């Protein structure tokens, strides 16, 4: 499953933001997207997720394993999201947050998937807890597990390590990268920190000027 984006232009109303960005991300590969603030890193992820809202507009092609994604709504793209804020739903317990992501199926199987995810996150037995009582690192791990339980075909990571302290950051980074590689899904990682780069040769540096092209 290769994620391929040929972005001709990305603009805010009539003002161009990015032009001529192409990227290819192979299964299990993590492409790091870097660039100055406001250059369009998060908007690039929104293009892939299908959450770009007016006045932002883009032109180009987007495929996942040859399938056109651009014409699909977000819910049918199979693209997972992991944000800086874990956004665990406050009205659901930890387990229910995970269960929310599990596709429909036999009840026992869905619950087993949740239990396995909790164990993987190091939170076995914590399913009934209020998400607000978890630590920052625990919340981040639950958010990743939730994104993965939906069985995404690609994963978008929008500064998911930014809110964590240095020790937790390194730990969680390794946790995320391991899971992405294990599952063999392409991932895009937006970050400001060079320490987060997953693979030094797979970095897309977005320019501050919209006319400079970028490829990865």
Partner 1 sequence: MTHTGRGERALALGLLALVAGPLLASAALALGAALDATAWAAWPAQPGALRALGLTLFTGLASTALAWWACAALLAQAVVRRRLDRLLRALPPLLATPHAALAIGLVFLLAPSGWLLRTVSPWLTGFDAPPPWPTTQDPWGLGLIAALVAKEIPFLLWCAATQLQRDDASRRWQAEHTLACTLGYHPVRAFWRVVWPPLAQRLRWPLLAVLAYGLTVVDMALVIGPASPPTLAVLAWQWLQDADPAIQAQGAAAGLALALVVGACAALVLAPRRPRRAVDGRRGPATMGWRPGATLLLGAYAAVLAALAVGSVSGVWAFPALWPQTWTLDAWRAVGASGATVGTTLWLAAGSAALALAWSVAWLECAPPRWDAALRPLIYLPLLLPAVLWVVGLYALGLRLRLEGTAGGLLLAHTLMALPYVLLTLSPAYQGFDPRCAALCASLGHGRWTLLWRVKWPLLRRALASAAAVGFAVSVAQYLPTLYLGAGRWSSVTTEAVTLAAGGQRSLTSAYAALQFALPVLGFALAAALGRPRRFRPETP
Q: Footprint of partner 1 on this chain (CB under 8 A)?
A: 49-51, 53-54, 73-81, 83, 85, 87, 89-91, 93, 100-101, 103, 123-126, 128-130, 133, 146-147, 150, 152, 156
DSSP string, 127-182: TTS-GGGS-HHHHHHHHHHHHHHT--SEEEEESTTTTS-HHHHHHHHHHHHHHHHH
What is the DSSP secondary structure assignment for residue 37, as one 8-state letter? T
Q: How far is Cα 173 from Cα 171, in angstroms, rounded to an integer?
A: 5
Q: Which is nearer to partner 1, 35 or 80 (CB)?
A: 80
CB of 116 to partner 1, least distance (A): 16
Q: Which is nearer to partner 1, 63 or 84 (CB)?
A: 84
Q: How far is Cα 15 from Cα 199, in angstroms, rounded to an integer?
A: 33
Helix (H) / strand (E) element for 4: namely strand 3-12
Residues paired with residue 118 on neighbouring β-strands, in sequence order? none
CB of 215 to partner 1, least distance (A): 26
CB of 201 to partner 1, least distance (A): 28
CB of 58 to partner 1, least distance (A): 14
Handedness of CA 42, 43, 46, 51 (dihedral sign): positive
CB of 194 to partner 1, least distance (A): 26
Q: Which is nearer to partner 1, 85 or 178 (CB)?
A: 85
Q: Which is nearer to partner 1, 130 or 193 (CB)?
A: 130
Residues paired with residue 1 on neighbouring β-strands, in sequence order? none
Q: Which is nearer to partner 1, 68 or 85 (CB)?
A: 85
CB 193 within 8 Å of CB 43: no
């Amino acid at each position: 499953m290769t994620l391929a984006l040929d972005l001709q232009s990305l603009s805010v109303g009539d003002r161009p933001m990015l032009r001529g960005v192409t990227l290819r991300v192979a299964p299990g590969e993590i492409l790091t997207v870097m660039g100055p603030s406001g250059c369009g890193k998060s908007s690039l992820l929104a293009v892939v997720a299908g959450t770009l809202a007016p006045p932002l507009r883009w032109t180009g092609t987007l495929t996942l394993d040859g399938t056109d994604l651009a014409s699909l709504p977000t819910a049918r793209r199979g693209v997972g999201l992991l944000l800086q804020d874990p956004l665990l739903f406050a009205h659901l317990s930890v387990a229910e947050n995970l269960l929310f992501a599990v596709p429909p199926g036999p009840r026992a199987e869905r619950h087993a998937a949740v239990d396995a995810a909790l164990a993987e996150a190091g939170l076995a037995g914590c399913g009934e807890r209020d998400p607000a009582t978890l630590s920052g690192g625990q919340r981040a791990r639950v958010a990743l597990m939730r994104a993965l339980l939906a069985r995404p075909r690609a994963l978008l990571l929008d500064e998911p390590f930014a809110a964590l302290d240095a020790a937790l950051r390194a730990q969680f980074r390794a946790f995320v990268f391991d899971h992405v590689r294990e599952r063999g899904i392409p991932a895009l990682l937006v970050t400001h920190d060079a320490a987060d780069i997953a693979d030094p040769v797979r970095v897309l540096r977005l320019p501050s000027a919209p006319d400079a092209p970028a490829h990865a």
